[in-house]
Amino acid sequence: MKRIGTALRAAVSLGLCAALLAGCSLLPSDPAPEQPVPTDPLTGQEQLWPGQRPVAVSIENASDSTTQWGLSAASVVLEARTELQGSTRLCLVYPSVNAVPQVGPVAAGEDLYWRLLVGQQVIPVQRGGGQFDQNYLDYYSLRPVDALEAGRNAFSCPAGWSNAPLWYTSGSALSSALETLNISSTLTESRVTTAASAAADSASGEDTPLAIPALLPQSMENKVPNATAPDAVNVRLQFDEQNATGFAYDAESATYKMLHADGTPQLDANSGQQAAFDNLLVLFSASALRDDEQTFDYDLSMGGGVWLNGGHLWYITWTQGTDTTFQFYDADGELLTLNAGRSYLALVSSVTGQELTVTNSAGENLIQ
Domain with residue 215: its CATH number is: 3.50.90.10
d(CA 358, CA 366): 5
Is cis: bond before 31, omega within 30 of 0?
Answer: no
Note the pLDDT of residue 15: 39
Note the pLDDT of residue 2: 37
d(CA 185, CA 211): 14
From residue 279, give the alpha-carbon distance in Å to each of 14, 77, 90, 302.
61, 11, 16, 19
313 or 220, which is more confident: 313
pLDDT in tens, 341-360: 999 999 999 777 799 999 99
Q: What is the CB-side half-sphere exposure of residue 141 using CA atoms within 13 A?
A: 4
| Displacement of CA 96 from its chain's centroid (Å) | 12
Note the pLDDT of residue 313: 96
d(CA 187, CA 52): 6
The helix/strand/coil state of 4 is helix
At 193, the pLDDT band (50, 70, 90 cuts) reads very low
| Number of domains observed in the structure of the chain | 1
Task: Give the residue-averaged pLDDT of 115-135.
Answer: 94
Residue 19 lies in a domain: no
360 or 63, which is more confident: 360
Do β-strands 335-336 and 244-250 pair in parallel, antiparallel, or remain unpaired?
A: unpaired
Task: Give the residue-averaged pLDDT of 152-181.
Answer: 85
The helix/strand/coil state of 338 is strand
Counting every residue, how long is the chain? 368
Q: Quick check: 1 pLDDT over 60? A: no
Residue 13 lies in a domain: no
Alpha helices (H) in the chain, listed in sequence order: 2-22, 111-117, 131-139, 147-150, 171-178, 195-204
Nearest-Å Rg of the Cα atoms of the chain is: 25
94 with 54: CB under 8 angstroms?
A: yes
Note the pLDDT of residue 25: 41
- Whether the CA torsion 347, 348, 350, 352 is positive or negative: it is positive
DSSP assigned state of 127: S
DSSP assigned state of 118: G
At 194, the pLDDT band (50, 70, 90 cuts) reads very low
Q: Quick check: 87 pLDDT over 80? A: yes
Note the pLDDT of residue 278: 97
| Displacement of CA 155 from its chain's centroid (Å) | 24
The helix/strand/coil state of 78 is strand
Residue 61 lies in a domain: yes
d(CA 346, CA 281): 6
d(CA 106, CA 90): 10
- Residue 91, amino acid: C
Residue 364 lies in a domain: no
Phi, psi of 136 (to 5 degrees): -70, -45
Instruction: Render 181-200 in DSSP notation, one character per residue.
Output: TT--SB--TTSPPPHHHHHH
Residue 31 lies in a domain: no
Of 191-205, 219-233, 272-286, which range is least confident? 191-205
Q: Quick check: 49 pLDDT over 70? A: yes
The helix/strand/coil state of 136 is helix
The helix/strand/coil state of 256 is strand
Range of the domain at 333: 55-359
At 126, the pLDDT band (50, 70, 90 cuts) reads very high
The helix/strand/coil state of 135 is helix
Q: Quick check: 22 pLDDT over 50? A: no
350 or 336, which is more confident: 336
Residue 18 lies in a domain: no
Q: Quick check: 9 pLDDT over 60? A: no
d(CA 123, CA 21): 52
Give the mean pLDDT of the chain.
84
Residue 208 lies in a domain: yes
Q: Quick check: 91 pLDDT over 60? A: yes
Residue 79 lies in a domain: yes
Note the pLDDT of residue 256: 98
Percent of the chain with pLDDT over 90: 65
Note the pLDDT of residue 220: 85
Q: Quick check: 368 pLDDT over 80? A: no
Q: Quick check: 326 pLDDT over 80? A: yes
343 with 281: CB under 8 angstroms?
A: yes
Q: Quick check: 231 pLDDT over 80? A: yes
Phi, psi of 338 (to 5 degrees): -80, 160
Q: Quick check: 96 pLDDT over 70? A: yes
